[in-house]
Chain A
């Protein structure tokens, strides 16, 4: 085997420019392959990472939807949340109301996403500065007091909302409609990172009862119920119980959530599949073409090796090894270039409207690197099959005779 390695490395080093060009070409196609592997399922992986970080094992949503994907609500969200809280292993249940509101700060009015939560410390957002919301009082904050609110950094940056500022939250954009809506005065008590915010999205969280007042709706409905579970083994049973209890909702474990989200991302998976196949095909052709063409220059050498006693199978193995070495030599460059390219490609795709800040299209995972390496090495080996077969079939006497004549 050592002899084969020696001969293969020597064969490749004999033409450094040619070998460098092939390795460079394989670096580019390998980089594309890595990027497409990262893209395929990248969003789902990225979403899974964020979801796992939040710590909620189950999300209950209106049937057929995903969290915050529409205006649909769970009519008796509060009651369902209370029932879920009684199940074994459940450590926290957070019914969340989400809607779009208008926020007025001085003369300026801007649209914002609003989250109604029962109180602070729910994990629906991560506090960055100030203090969290107090527990939501039944019936909401008294009219003569400003309700507490937490805003996201975008609202703080773009609109100058500071801790201690007073804002007016309303379902209508214009003061003229204040008589038909219920504007609520709020005081900013904290600034928080709201998961899945869009790049320029303003978000505000206030106690659920106060948000119901803004909406002018009766207490009870929820857009989403977040559930923490102490024992992961109980998740499936809890999901089944919720599904059976209320046909109007879907209980989504993280796996079920990702499956449902993934089903809406077929474009990226199929695009990645097509481009991965193309990059593998180009790598295969590159290796096959170069190794086959270079074989033409070395038929005399191969015939000599055969004459010295090297078997056909070892000659074939030598050529296969050259293909494999070319692929292996390109791996570090392919991974480096792929990572560099993925940052730029991710930035392009993330500039699309409606892509949350925390999500990425390209997710680097050990599995993606491993898959790329295996595919590239396998392609290198496969690319060497045809020239290896040609080399193994060479007749010793005829080849040496032809070499002498030429």
Chain B
């Protein structure tokens, strides 16, 4: 889609922003928009609808005038802001900093100097017709377009997020590896500290199994305490990330979510790793004889 420019005639030059206008010939921005602008009365400027973010960027309210052009060099045409609406927000569109403007197709064609062409057509299917069947029939037509069901489009659009999720999972494996080594190192030190204590326990007649259970419990407790602190840090970091990116992109979207499955996985994994580190430490401790452990 082409770049187009919007400007407000009386605004300061800095505010005469160079904006990319998501027009009807754009990338499917028909989705989820509010009721369209009213039809123009003869002799008046044609109407446009702006998203709330776009209106904020341009500093306009309903009733104001804006100028639109297909190119930065003009020619400019004046439009009336008929509506400001809150659009449905899609993660795929989050990084776009452009101004979104909706206008009647005929007005857009006049602005572009073209006509009889659209980028996409949205089709609502009346039951009992099945979208997949309609898509098959449409694609069988000898015309230069390709039809997709909403599910197909959602799948195509989410591929990037799937990749990012896989990347995050790979990073989490690395952090789990690092924390496992950290835990093992701490438990090795703790084991050294407990050496004498374990020797005394063994000399008192406490069974190897009980001693091992104590060491494993200590390790699990350390891991659990660490994971609880980690959960707190995770909540804090998540809140910071959401606050920062919501402000950056001016959107209500949630960027980071600490969900129950994530919490359970993190705490559960920590405890499992703690038990494993404890078992290893207990094995290393109990290899020695009790007298050796108390330094004799």
Contact = CB atoms under 8 A, between A and B. Distances in A.
B1 A70 contact: yes
A282 to B, nearest CB: 6
B160 A21 contact: no
A1 B182 CA distance: 30
B189 A248 contact: no
Nearest to A171: B144
Contacts, number: 116
A218 interface: no
A143 interface: no
Interface in A1-48: 15, 17-18, 21-22, 24-25, 28-29, 31-32
B192 A297 contact: yes
A296 B192 CA distance: 11
A275 B168 CA distance: 11
Contacts of A25: 178, 181-182, 185
A289 B188 CA distance: 12
A3 to B, nearest CB: 26
Interface stretch (B46-54, B58-66, B169-177): B169-177
Given A348-B163, A352-B163, A177 B177 contact: no
A176 B142 contact: yes
Interface in B103-155: 142-145
A195 B2 CA distance: 23
Interface string A330-361: 00000000000100110011011110000000
Query: How big is chain B's contact interface, by range?
Result: 35 or more
A173 B171 contact: no
Interface string B27-71: 000000000000000000000000000000000000000000001
Nearest to A18: B188
A21 B188 contact: yes
Given A348-B170, A351-B163, A17 B142 contact: no
Interface string A57-70: 00000111100001
A32 B178 contact: yes
Nearest to A353: B159
A371 B174 CA distance: 20
A174 interface: yes
B72 A18 contact: no
Contact of A21 (B2, B145, B167, B181): B181
B18 interface: yes
Contact of B160 (A64, A175, A289, A352): A352
B2 A31 contact: no
Given A64-B72, A174-B142, A352-B163, A289 B186 contact: yes
Contacts of A32: 171, 174-175, 178
Interface string A250-285: 000000000000001011000000110011001001
A290 B185 contact: yes
A286 B182 contact: yes
Contacts of B167: 345, 348-349
Contact of A28 (B18, B72, B160, B174): B174
Interface in A210-268: 246-248, 264, 266-267
A297 B144 CA distance: 78
A63 B143 contact: no
A315 to B, nearest CB: 21
A247 B181 CA distance: 59
A75 interface: yes
B174 A18 contact: no
Interface of A: 15, 17-18, 21-22, 24-25, 28-29, 31-32, 62-65, 70-73, 75, 102, 171-177, 246-248, 264, 266-267, 274-275, 278-279, 282, 285-286, 289-290, 293-294, 296-297, 341, 344-345, 348-349, 351-354
16 contacts: A21-B185, A28-B174, A64-B5, A177-B142, A247-B72, A274-B237, A275-B171, A285-B182, A286-B185, A290-B189, A344-B170, A345-B167, A349-B163, A349-B167, A352-B159, A353-B159
In order of increasing CB-CB distance, the 3 nearest A-B pairs are A25-B181, A21-B185, A352-B163
Interface of B: 1-3, 5, 18, 20, 71-73, 95, 142-145, 156, 159-160, 163-164, 166-167, 170-171, 174-175, 177-179, 181-182, 184-186, 188-189, 192-193, 237, 241
